[in-house]
Amino acid sequence: MKKIATGNKAVAEAVRQAAPGVVAAYPITPQTEIVEQIAEFVTGGLMPTRYIAVESEHSAMAACIGASITGMRTFTATSSHGLLYMHEMTNWAAGARLPIVMANVNRSLGPGWNIWAEHTDALQERDTGWLQVYVSTVQEAYDTILMAFRIAEHNDVLLPVMVNLDGFLLSHIMQPVDTVELGDFIPAIYLPYAIDPKHPAGYGTLTGPDQQFKFRWDIERSMRDSVKVIEETGKDFSKRFGRNYGFTEDYLCDDADVIVVAMGTLGKEAEVAIDLLRKEGIKAGSMRLRWLRPFPKLNLKGKQVVVIDRDYSFGRGGILATEIMAQTKEDLYSVIAGIGGQEVTYDDIAGFVRTRHMGKEFWFGVNAHV
Amino acid sequence: MFEIRIHSRGGQGGVTAARLLAMAALHDGKYATACPFYGAERRGAPIVSFVRIDDKPIKVYSQIRQPDMVVVLDTSVMDTVDVLHGLKKGGRIFINSAGKREFSDFECRNVDLTGIALRENLVVSGSPILNTPVLGALARMGIITAESGKLAIREMFSDERNVKAADAAYKEMSA
């Protein structure tokens, strides 16, 4: 049934349908609406869930770890400083192979104190072993949360999944969303190494130099195996519910000379810029990256590439641009735009393409090519 | 694409008006998005919210700079805010006001929504409710259908006085 909902409410509705055994969370702008709505569902008897209101995000993730280790489906949501406060525990969740699903509402990091959209928060979690996906519409947020549970809990994966949505731009916008009859799309959770509290056993004892690398390699093996699971899950989702999601969303890329690569709402707005450019005779296309981990093979051969980063790694460059440079030899123009919620319109994006300086980096609003 | 900017004060329901408008457009078989301006909203301070309506999915997230229409729920914001800023030439204006107003280059319509709300006893915490009657006015201006406006109101509010107020605004709009 089609309704109008915010990105946050759509995430909460998907979580209600996935019915985790435990949700442990701490509120933070602009994520708060997600956990408020879930708490309302729980107290209203609409979810068979134990909601643990914790005193910090570090504890939220620790509580999810504790619940997940007993084989329970778990969910949490956070943003920005909350996510970084979890950082020690996010590493633990992946290392302990726990399929926790988290919604992260992307927000800048202070100082300056800023509550608006930026991807640097999630990208600082890039190397933790979490799968990461970035969405661009309220519908996609809802659909991706449903898929995230199935992917995380698949026994070829058993890794946590972070679903990212842009602060305010997506968390607070109201758009149509078509909810589904879930049926058996997400199978019952089964963790092969779950701890049974009635028959306690100890895990996680000292791991020596002759063992640690094996556990690390095992995470990487599952990360690679997750590619197939993501594809299968997307296919089954499309078969059941009629909406298609891949690793990227490609718009007019086949015959394009220049391709814009971006994540989140900027990647969606880029499609409007492509329409403008095509009318001017510029053969442009847009490739919106959904999955950052595992990082997909991007088909950019023979194209000029304009990468828009709503993030930055100081002393190196745009994080997405750097990732793409490591994979392709194609000419690349790196644009840093949208930091801390900086307004970026489709006209601006079209401008980046028109005035592209291949091999250069451009900070939008600073107006200097370096 | 038809783009609307709604001016009100924090607490007057401008954001809810945007939401109801998007819901009504959806009932009309269109695509719609609604969003507040993302700042630090305070009760009583002038705020804006935005609605986009189109026949195809809407991919734009940036703010509306050149609206096709401006809706003013509280004329007192006009003292400090240029509500006509960026309004397209020939654009449309709706003002919650008992008195008719004229603007060159723009088509301006008005209804006394505050009076209707007070008459229907649609008052919450001392403030008249404007976000449901405004749907009647906007239906009269052809932005949504009256039927879809009522459907949207009933989805969100069980109190039928909201629908009655929208009906009254529809009927009272000056020609």
Instruction: Supply the CATH number for residue A53's domain.
Output: 3.40.50.970
> Quick one: A165 and A225 in the same domain?
yes
d(CA A74, CA A306): 38
Residue A208's pLDDT is 94
> Quick one: A236 and A260 in the same domain?
no
| Mean of pLDDT over chain B | 93
d(CA A94, CA A161): 9
Residue A367's pLDDT is 74
d(CA A84, CA A104): 11
Average pLDDT over residues A41-48: 98
> Which residue positions in chain B have pLDDT lower than 50?
none
**Domain-ending residue, one of A226, A241, A256:** A241
> Quick one: A133 and A261 in the same domain?
no
Which region among A31-45, A298-312, A356-370 has the lowest average model confidence (pLDDT)? A356-370
What SS3 class is residue A359? coil
- What's the angle, vertex CA A126, arms to CA A172 and CA A96, rounded to 5? 105
Residue A54's pLDDT is 97
Residue B38's pLDDT is 65
Which structural domain, as residue segments, surrounds residue B114? 2-172
Instruction: Give A169's contacts in chain B (Cβ within 8 Å).
Output: 38, 61
DSSP code string of A238-281: HHHHS----SEEEES-TT-SEEEEE-THHHHHHHHHHHHHHHTT
> Quick one: A296 and A179 in the same domain?
no
Span A66-84, pLDDT tens digits: 999 999 999 999 999 999 9
Span A218-268, pLDDT tens digits: 999 999 999 999 999 999 999 999 999 999 999 999 999 999 999 999 999
Residue A315's pLDDT is 97
Domain count, chain B: 1
C-alpha distance from B6 to closest chain A C-alpha (Å): 15
Instruction: Give B60's contacts in chain A (Cβ within 8 Å).
Output: 269, 272, 345-346
Domain count, chain A: 2
Chain A residues 164-223 with CB within 8 Å of chain B: 166, 168-170, 172-176
> Quick one: A261 and A208 in the same domain?
no
Cβ distance B26 to A176 less than 8 Å, yes or no, reads yes
Relative to beta strand A258-262, strand A304-309 is: parallel
> Quick one: A19 and A44 in the same domain?
yes
Which chain A residue shows the shortest CA-CA distance from B65? A345
Angle between helices A212-241 and A87-95 (to 10 degrees): 90
Span A170-185, pLDDT tens digits: 999 999 999 999 999 9
State whether residue A1 sits within 8 Å of chain B by CB: no
Q: Which of A325, A239, A340, A148 is nearest to A361 (CA)?
A: A325
> Quick one: A323 and A365 in the same domain?
yes
Which chain A residue shows the shortest CA-CA distance from B34? A174
> Quick one: A126 and A159 in the same domain?
yes
Q: Which of A273, A268, A275, A225 is nearest to A248 (CA)?
A: A268
Does position A130 have pLDDT exceeding 70, yes or no? yes
Cβ distance B33 to A341 less than 8 Å, yes or no, reads no
Residue A259, phi then psi, degrees to nearest 5: -125, 130
> Quick one: A253 and A156 in the same domain?
no
Cβ distance B38 to A173 less than 8 Å, yes or no, reads no
**Domain-ending residue, one of A241, A270, A295:** A241
ipTM over 0.90: yes
> Quick one: A312 and A233 in the same domain?
no
> Quick one: A196 and A166 in the same domain?
yes
Cβ distance B61 to A265 less than 8 Å, yes or no, reads yes
Interface A-B, measured as beta-carbon pairs within 8 A, has a size of: 55
d(CA A190, CA B158): 43
Q: Which of A25, A167, A56 is nearest to A109 (CA)?
A: A167
Which structural domain, as residue segments, surrounds residue A79? 2-241
d(CA B174, CA B92): 14
Residue B124's pLDDT is 87
State whether residue B33 sits within 8 Å of chain A by CB: yes
Instruction: List the CATH number of the domain containing B83.
Output: 3.40.920.10
pTM of this structure? 0.96
In A289-364, which residue ranges form alpha helices assigned H by DSSP? 319-325, 346-354
Cβ distance A172 to B36 less than 8 Å, yes or no, reads yes
Q: Which neighbouring-strand residues pair with B94?
A: B71, B109
Instruction: Give B26's contacts in chain A (Cβ within 8 Å).
Output: 2, 4, 176
> Quick one: A117 and A160 in the same domain?
yes
State whether residue B31 sits within 8 Å of chain A by CB: yes
Cβ distance A341 to B38 less than 8 Å, yes or no, reads yes
d(CA B107, CA B153): 26
Instruction: List the CATH number of the domain containing A307.
Output: 3.40.50.920
Chain A residues 249-278 with CB within 8 Å of chain B: 265-266, 268-269, 271-272
**Domain-ending residue, one of A241, A268, A293:** A241
Cβ(A20)–Cβ(A117) below 8 Å: no
In chain A, which residue ranges form alpha helices assigned H by DSSP? 7-18, 32-43, 57-68, 80-85, 87-95, 120-123, 138-153, 212-241, 265-279, 319-325, 346-354
What SS3 class is residue A333? strand
Cβ distance B35 to A2 less than 8 Å, yes or no, reads no
d(CA B48, CA B6): 5
Residue B36's pLDDT is 83
State whether residue B58 sits within 8 Å of chain A by CB: yes
C-alpha distance from A204 to closest chain B C-alpha (Å): 45
Instruction: Report the 10 Å Cβ neighbour count for A175.
Output: 26
